[in-house]
Amino acid sequence: MTTWFKRNWQISFIGSLILALLIITFTQKTESQDTAATYEIDAVHSAVIFRAKHMGVTYNYGRFNEFSGSIMMDETDVSKSKVELEVKTASVDTANGKRDQHLRSPDFFNAKQFPVITFKSTKVSAKAGQENMLEVTGDFAMHGVQKSITVDVEITGKGKSPQGGELIGFETTFVIKRSEFGMNYGMQGVSDDIRITVSIEAGKK
């Protein structure tokens, strides 16, 4: 084997090896990207509902009609997933106009000063031994106060829209104390504990 041929063979082999490594790396990166998808919340097929006890006797229910957000879901590594939700406080609806106006006032949500309730995840993990269950920790901000909360979230289903788009659903129910967010009005008549249910349908972008 001549020196010229040996040198060119070595260069060709090294070049082929580098090319193969680049192809493998690109393929792995592409496959990893394919496992992560961003979904936009469909407010028409979702709900943000709350429950409070009145006079220690019965539960009254309400909802928010305007909200938006997104979910980045990584099927391979759930810890890389993210959730963001924004709720407009002025959209509160308890099926009673007079009560809704009071809830928008400074006594409760103070919608003019604090127009949104937000949640932004800081950690997402799968619940051990529980299929389709996630544990999500994030910053919950309401009425000018932000607190870290952890909630259990169920992946309620996956499917296709009539147009063929990919859909995913989530639901969580958790309890907050409104007094911890500076909402102290009428504690004698309206419970401190407020139960919130968020049921989400989201479509893949």
Residues 153-200 pLDDT 10s: 999 999 998 888 999 999 999 999 999 999 999 999 999 999 999 999
* Residue 4 scores a pLDDT above 80: no
Same domain, residue pair 89 and 172: yes
Same domain, residue pair 16 and 79: no
Same domain, residue pair 111 and 200: yes
pTM (2 decimals)?
Answer: 0.82
Report the domain count for the chain.
2
Same domain, residue pair 46 and 3: no
Same domain, residue pair 112 and 142: yes
Tokens 């961003």 sit on residue? 38
Going by C-alpha positions, the residue among 120, 59, 50, 60 that lies closest to residue 91 is: 50
Buried b (16+ CB within 10 A) or exposed e, 20-54: eeeeeeeeeeeeeeeeebebebebeebebebbbbe
Same domain, residue pair 156 and 60: yes
